[in-house]
Amino acid sequence: MNIIICDDRIDDRKNLSDLLSDYGEKKNYEFTITEYESGEQLCEEQSALEACQLLFLDINMQGMDGLKTAMRIKEKYPKLPVVLVTAYMNYALDGYKVKASRFLLKDNLADTIEECMDDLIAEINKNRRILEFRFVEGTIKLYADDIIYIETELHKNVFYTEKGTFQIYKKLDELENELKNMGFVRAHLSFLVNMKYITKISSYVMTLTTGKKIPVPKARYAQVKREYMLYKGEE
């Protein structure tokens, strides 16, 4: 699991990193932990954010604080679990404004980190369903989250995924049904898109984190836009 810690205090970063490492060792999880010392620095690291599965943010940072950092990141990665960490209880209500998954106090991290991680990992695993497909390349198991989009090309459908590109002789309607309720939207007769990878939808064009632009027909535009807003929790 790729975890990011963002905190402007090196001692606090080390303390949290050590606690997470101890937890991973105890539970037999493999973590890759990356540290950042400012919200500005983190927001520039798009490739790291795309790979991130869990983000710990200090609220009281110099410059861009944790709340502003969370808002900016959530705009592009709405489903990324964010844990806000602070020394002050009075920030707790602000965590709801940025749809934080958890709120932890620095003073008792050692007592709360295990329960927090148990709950978050259970949620993450629930949303990362493993699916098996009979591709031209062979039978392959994929996490639904790793499928970026599926495009119809001639008589096949092509899966564009985090693991590579795979071809399948199966109708897009059937694939849409298999991926129902897993965060996918039918953007076009020839495209089924994982909303996790959408950065914006405007002017009848859907833009993905990969830079891919997919046209959205006028007849579908309102429905596609609404599904995306619901996915982001903005409706």
Query: Residue 192's CB: how many other CB atoms inside 10 A?
Result: 23
Domains by residue range for the chain, with CATH: 2-127 (3.40.50.2300), 130-232 (2.40.50.1020)
Cα 3-80-24 angle, rounded to 5 deg? 30
Q: How high does pLDDT run on average in the chain?
A: 90
Question: Which of 48-52, 70-74, 90-94 has the least mean pLDDT?
Answer: 90-94
pLDDT of residue 115: 94
Closest CA to 125 of 29, 193, 208, 192: 29
Report the percentage of the chain scoring pLDDT > 90.
68
The Cα 169–Cα 142 span in angstroms is 17
| 182-186, Cβ contacts within 8 angstroms, sequence gap of 24 or more | 182/129, 182/144, 183/79, 183/144, 183/145, 183/231, 184/147, 185/224, 185/227, 185/228, 185/231, 186/220, 186/224
Both tokens of 193, joined, read 């898109």
In tens, the pLDDT along 31-50 reads 999 999 999 999 999 889 98
The DSSP call for residue 197 is G
Report the SS3 class of residue 122: helix
Closest CA to 194 of 150, 156, 232: 150
Q: Rounded mean pLDDT of 18-40?
A: 95
The DSSP call for residue 152 is E
pLDDT of residue 14: 97
pLDDT of residue 88: 74
Q: Rounded mean pLDDT of 191-205?
A: 93
Closest CA to 221 of 203, 196, 208, 198: 203
pLDDT of residue 98: 78
H-helix or E-strand spanning residue 70: helix 66-76
The answer to whether 16 and 5 are in contact (CB under 8 A) is: yes
Report the percentage of the chain scoring pLDDT > 70.
94
Mean pLDDT: which of 13-22, 157-166, 195-204 is highest?
13-22
Q: Rounded mean pLDDT of 87-109?
A: 78
pLDDT of residue 35: 97
pLDDT at 235 > cutoff 60: no
What's this model's pTM, rounded to 2 decimal places?
Answer: 0.62
